[in-house]
């Protein structure tokens, strides 16, 4: 029988590495081994023809056995992880194993990938994979398989959840849509999934929700669900139909609380917001990207101008949902004021989970092509293209200022004063919170982290636990865990501060220095000042806010 070994590789082999979305502290506290397993691997596994033996190795959980008896090793990697995937492939090939690589980076750089593996699969692999397996069995495996178009969503089987260890992962995952018609300069989604929105039939989504693996125990049974769509509200009619179909499942306790990525335009439709709430959505993940008008316009992202940011955030919060706000720093239109301006916006709006990224021109994006043509890329060391390293020459700041500004944002946003001000504001707004048993459980799970932490960490955690235990707040113990995990990541990021840290931090706090051009660049203070206009002063957004329905309080 033909045997295929799927391997989910780490970003690298550094045991001290900390990745924000891996939620290491949170997983340790709750007893999970990893936040989630790549849904793409699980879906391709489900497309394997019958009669083929398949195994899965998750390097985040188990070491890779390079001597495994297998006919093919299947890897998938995004750009920031492909360097290590190439090394894993090299070690397997040294043992005489054939290796196939798919995923975003191989799809955009197939010739490069073929220098490291025996076979490359480009594009969405669901319809291609059975052909790859048949050729393997016939001894006719080709070097390259290119997807012809995009598979209809109703032809994609449910993920092979049974092949992984569901109890090891914090999140359930499903996908309902693919594709995006927009051509944002920093995004490669249209090149991978197409520019047309594709939808999984509502009844299929409901079937998958009902079939989510049922874990045992009080923690595992309450695992949250993450909808991995790039834009869950890509078609309003479909989204509303799906949300209405999910409401009975939520009422029956058949689906957990869940989160999804949307544009901020979700707030322009208050009926949709009500449906999100009624269907059990707890968190919306929204790409604000930037708070300035100039940077938003420079991204070629034709969304998020429906309302002022403040009004949109208020409408979401009024339904009891929290927000993960994604922000990018380092655009050519960003001045040295972008760091303080972004932090001020987060604190003013009370966005509970701000996540920050350094602008990264990844292969397959217009941004990469532009920067490469202009000679602005520092290198093509892909493991550093992870949105937390500076890989290009910025315009209105130095590389060191951009790196330090990114770290400063995390330190400030998740420092005790700012973090607990946002949490308290959020918990005062809530009507229901965790019970005493849940709070005591979380406090007990944080105790080992406090014992091995330094004085700063212990003070921070102690303050958070005290706030959670307050009888005057509808506190959420789970939210505290998520936020302390982000604080843990902020501490980790300090290792990336540059030699110019002290001077950079003084600059971020001194508004008179924000419009200073970097050394060697002619002063154009008037031009730099024009870049500071805020989104909430956008005439269209202001007009629509004034004429829209009031927020439901």
Residue 178 and residue 109 share a domain = no
CA 407 to chain centre: 18
136 and 177, same structural domain? no
Best CA proximity match to 35, nearest among 69, 8, 67: 8
Q: Which of 146, 166, 184 is where one domain is finished?
A: 146
Cα 342 to the center of its chain, rounded Å? 19
Tokens for 471?
Answer: 């009888």
Same domain assignment for residues 256 and 122 = no
- Together in a domain, 305 and 376: yes
Tell me, what's the pLDDT at 161? Answer: 87
Given 121, 146, 171, the domain boundary residue is 146
Q: Can you give the pLDDT at residue 550?
A: 47
477, part of any domain = no
- CA 156 – CA 293 distance, rounded (Å): 40
Supply the Cα-derived Rg of the chain in whole angstroms.
24
SS3 of 221-232: the string is HHCCEEECCCCC
In a domain, 505, yes or no: no
Rounded to an integer, what distance in angstroms lies between the CA atom of residue 290 and that of residue 297?
10
Query: Considering the domain boundaries, does residue 440 fall inside one?
Result: no
**So what's the pLDDT on residue 300?**
59
Residue 103 lies in a domain: yes
How many whole angstroms separate alpha carbon 300 and alpha carbon 289? 12
pLDDT, residue 544, reads 53
Crossing angle of helices 436-452 and 477-493, in 10° steps, is 20
Residue 44 in any domain: the answer is yes
Residue 256's nearest CA partner among 478, 44, 34, 22 is 478
Same domain, 75 and 166: no
For CA atoms 548, 549, 550, 552, give the dihedral sign.
Answer: negative
Q: Does some domain include residue 484?
A: no
Give burial (CB, 10 Å; 0-12/13-18/19+) of 234. Answer: buried
Residue located via tokens 């499903």: 174
> 317: domain range?
158-427+533-547
Same domain, 124 and 178: no
How far is C-alpha 38 from the geometric centre of its chain's CA atoms?
A: 12
Whether 109 and 163 share a structural domain:
no
**Residues 120, 388, 521, CA angle at the centre, nearest 5°?**
115
| Domain-ending residue, one of 115, 146, 177 | 146
Q: Are residues 190 and 278 in the same domain?
A: yes
Residue in this structure with the two tokens 């005439």, named with its chain if needed: 539
User: Mean pLDDT, 10 residues at a time, over the chain (553 residues)?
Assistant: 96 85 93 93 95 95 96 96 97 98 94 97 93 96 91 88 87 88 59 71 95 72 88 92 97 94 92 96 93 73 69 94 96 94 96 96 89 95 95 96 98 97 94 92 95 96 97 94 97 96 95 74 51 52 51 44
- Max Cα–Cα distance, the chain, nearest Å: 71
Backbone phi and psi for residue 169, each to the nearest 5 degrees, phi listed first: -110, 140
Q: Where are the alpha helices (DSSP H) in 396-538?
A: 399-413, 416-429, 436-452, 455-468, 477-493, 501-509, 525-530
In a domain, 363, yes or no: yes
Q: Is residue 445 part of a domain?
A: no
Question: Do 137 and 241 sit in the same domain of this protein?
Answer: no
Token pair, residue 44, equals 């391709």
Q: Are residues 134 and 15 in the same domain?
A: yes
In angstroms, rounded to a whole number, what is the distance separating the alpha carbons of residues 257 and 225? 6
Number of separate domains in the chain: 2
Tokens of residue 61, six digits: 């959980």
**pLDDT reported for residue 526:** 46
Structure tokens at 161: 């959840």
Question: What is the helix (H) or strand (E) element at residue 209, kind and residue range?
Answer: helix 202-210
**Residue keyed to tokens 């235990």:** 469
- pTM comes to 0.90
Residues 133 and 213 in one domain: no
Indicate whether 177 and 139 sit together in one domain.
Answer: no
CATH of the domain at 362: 3.20.20.70
> Domain with 20 in it: what CATH number?
3.40.50.280
Distances (CA, A) of 400 to 69, 497, 518: 48, 8, 11
Total Cβ atoms within 10 A of residue 370: 13
Angle at 335 between CA 331 and CA 340, to 5 degrees: 105
CB proximity list for 446: less than 8 A, separation 6 or greater: 29, 461, 465, 481, 484
DSSP calls for 257-287: -EEEEE-GGGGG-HHHHHHHHHTTEEEEEEE
């Amino acid at each position: 029988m033909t045997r295929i070994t799927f391997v989910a590789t780490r970003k690298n082999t550094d045991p001290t590495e900390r990745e924000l979305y891996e939620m290491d502290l949170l997983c340790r506290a709750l007893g999970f081994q990893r936040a989630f397993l790549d849904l793409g691997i699980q879906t391709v596994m489900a497309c394997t023809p019958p009669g083929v033996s398949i195994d899965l190795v998750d390097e985040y959980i188990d070491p890779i056995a390079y001597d495994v008896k297998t006919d093919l090793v299947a890897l998938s990697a995004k750009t920031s992880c492909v360097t290590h995937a190439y090394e894993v492939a090299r070690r397997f090939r040294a043992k005489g194993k054939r290796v196939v690589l798919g995923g975003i980076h191989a799809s955009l750089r197939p010739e490069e990938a073929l220098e490291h593996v025996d076979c490359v699969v480009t594009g969405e692999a669901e319809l291609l994979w059975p052909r790859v397996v048949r050729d393997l069995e016939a001894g006719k495996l080709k070097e390259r398989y290119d997807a012809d178009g995009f598979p209809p969503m109703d032809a994609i089987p449910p993920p092979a959840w049974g092949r992984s260890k569901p109890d090891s992962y914090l999140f359930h995952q499903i996908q309902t849509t693919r594709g995006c018609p927009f051509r944002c300069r920093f995004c490669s989604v249209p090149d991978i999934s197409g520019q047309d929105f594709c939808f999984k039939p509502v009844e299929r989504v409901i079937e998958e929700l009902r079939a989510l693996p049922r874990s045992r125990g009080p923690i595992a049974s309450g695992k949250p669900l993450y909808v991995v769509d790039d834009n869950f509200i890509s078609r309003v009619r479909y989204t509303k139909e799906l949300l209405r179909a999910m409401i009975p499942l939520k009422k029956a306790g058949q689906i957990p609380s869940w989160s999804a990525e949307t544009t901020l335009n979700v707030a322009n439709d208050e009926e949709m917001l009500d449906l999100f709430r009624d269907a059990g959505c707890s968190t919306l993940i929204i790409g604000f990207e930037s708070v300035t008008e100039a940077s938003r316009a420079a991204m070629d992202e034709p969304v998020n101008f429906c309302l002022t940011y403040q009004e949109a955030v208020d409408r979401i919060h009024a339904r009891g949902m929290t927000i993960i706000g994604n922000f990018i720093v380092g655009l050519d239109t960003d001045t040295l004021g972008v760091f303080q301006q972004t932090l001020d916006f987060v604190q003013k709006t009370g966005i509970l989970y701000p996540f920050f990224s350094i602008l990264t021109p990844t292969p397959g994006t217009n941004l990469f092509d532009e920067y490469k043509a202009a000679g602005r890329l520092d290198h093509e060391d892909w493991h550093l293209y992870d949105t937390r390293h500076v890989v290009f020459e910025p315009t209105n700041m130095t590389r060191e200022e951009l790196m330090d500004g990114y770290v400063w944002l995390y330190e400030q946003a998740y420092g005790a004063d700012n973090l607990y001000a946002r949490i308290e504001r959020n918990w005062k707004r809530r009507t229901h919170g965790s019970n005493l048993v849940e709070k005591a459980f979380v406090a007990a799970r944080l105790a080992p982290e406090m014992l091995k932490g330094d004085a700063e960490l212990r003070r921070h955690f102690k303050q958070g636990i005290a706030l959670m235990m307050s009888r005057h707040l509808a506190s959420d113990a789970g939210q505290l865990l998520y936020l302390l995990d982000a604080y843990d990541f902020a501490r980790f990021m300090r290792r990336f501060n540059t030699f110019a840290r002290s001077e950079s931090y003084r600059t971020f706090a001194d508004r008179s220095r924000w419009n200073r051009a970097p050394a060697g660049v002619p002063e154009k203070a008037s031009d730099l000042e024009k870049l500071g206009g805020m989104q909430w002063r956008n005439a269209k957004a202001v007009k629509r806010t004034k004429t829209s329905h009031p927020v439901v309080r």
